[in-house]
Structure 1
Amino acid sequence: MRRKIIEFREVSFRYEDEGPWVLKNCSFEIYENEWVAIIGHNGSGKSTIAKLMNGLLFPQEGEIYINGEQVNQESIWDIRKEVGMVFQNPDNQFVGTTVQDDVAFGMENRGFPREVMVKQIEDSLQAVGMHAYRQTEPHRLSGGQKQRVAIASVLAIAPKVLILDEATAMLDPKGRTEIMNTVSKVQENKKLSLITITHDLREVVQAERVIVMNAGVIWDEATPREIFTKKDELRKIGLDVPFVAILADELVQAGIAIHDEPLNHEELLEDLWTLHSKM
């Protein structure tokens, strides 16, 4: 049985004392080596959850535990060793003159020994496919390459949890696909808990579990396949349903017996091919 790595207990948060509650009594758990997608429209509370996990914010009500330690002012620096974050705009995270310098920065701040730093730079850049660019100036990279370096910089400090907060929002479809493939490999090889925060349902298909936020509360929590079956309800709370899910529905209405809710085009084609071969 996997150990709990993150726990929210009845957490509520608002940005101003008399302002509206952005989160209301949120409780959930995330486990070691688990990939969880947190999804919702803008203003649903999903990015606030990310900032609470990393101690950038603190709840007015409830408790948050990371690896068994409560998040508060006293524990914050220990917590940030456990939780790494990658944000929407990678340019905001660059501080070094080269890719290699940038990856080294977080380790230097934490006092890593030089021999450890050298190995971590090599390993983290290899993990995201950017080792060949280690002497490149960050501003010469594409958006997708910059985001991969940002991920490498976080991986170098060896966190137990990696949070991607809308990390593909500024990328084109090709760059978005590259990043999702990269984080999938990283999560599998590095054995860490991965949390992807997004409003794009296409990005949840590889996750083990999806938490859907709406108006500051947990609207649903299930596997991606189970979430995709609720197309009409998802549209009502402002989420766009992936094209493959819409197409599968149209095929069912046309009398074609799709076996299961497809998560991607490959699954839908496999289902259609299986049906065709039986005809």
Structure 2
Amino acid sequence: MEKGKGMLEGKVAAITGAGRGLGRSHALAMAAEGAKIVVNDLGGEWDGTGKAKGPADDVVKEIKAMGGDAAANFESVTSWEGAQKIIESAVKHFGKLDILVNNAGFLRDKMAFNMTKEEWDAIIEVHLTGAFYCGRHACAYFREQGKAGAPIKGRIINTMSHAGLLGNAGQSNYASAKLGIGALTMVWGREMEKYGMTANAIVPMARTRMTMQTAGLGGMFEKKEGEFDDMAPENVSPLVVYLASDAAQNINGRWLSIRGGKLESWLSPQLAKTIDIGRKWKPQEIAQRIKELGDLSLPPMSL
């Protein structure tokens, strides 16, 4: 790794769920661009069960082997105190925090009529609540630094999913959490802009332990021999590096996607069409004129 020339030289990043998959790829890519990394990972399985220090420790070793600097962290994002310790770990080991990447998560897919309370709660907790906990403590840190007069170019990069944008069947819990993260991203962008921090979300499509377990979709993520591996997790990480860099200072509150070689932007919910009659509507009038709003059937799940 060549010192002094990376896009993230001198930056410190905390990445949740960085022991495997997309998180590991982000950690290695950001380290290659000069960032010091807090590699957070509880070490659980794709469904959230179990714990292990090995995944985070292994990524730290990989980063150090390439000439970078990193520290492992094993806190759970679902704990208020644990999330705070993730942020504090960056300051403890490297003196500051510049970037938070909210990536941690797992799956417990079921159709709505089969989903248990525990399956709903677990996914909302790790994805949506976990992102909020970590982001809340990062926002507080950036705000305090700004109030103290330090120049701030803070970054929060959240992780959404096409499941939330398109409404994938069998993922009520996961899709709800991921679309909620999109709202968090916009709110944080507005709240923190005056302090010099931006918040953006990536919408990745890549081969991970989680996507390979998604019913009916595993085949689309398989590696194609002799062709561009469009579903390799490494394809997504350049977007994370860019959003974390000073070059992305004017991008805020946005949802961006990488699918293989495709770089895409998503529009947040926008008003499609209005019919204004200037008075209270009658149900019968709505029935007569609703078609003027266009096709209101279930939209196709396509990209």
TM-score using structure 2 length = 0.33
Greater strand share, structure number: 1
Larger RCO (CA within 8 A; separation ≥ 6): 1
TM-score using structure 1 length = 0.35
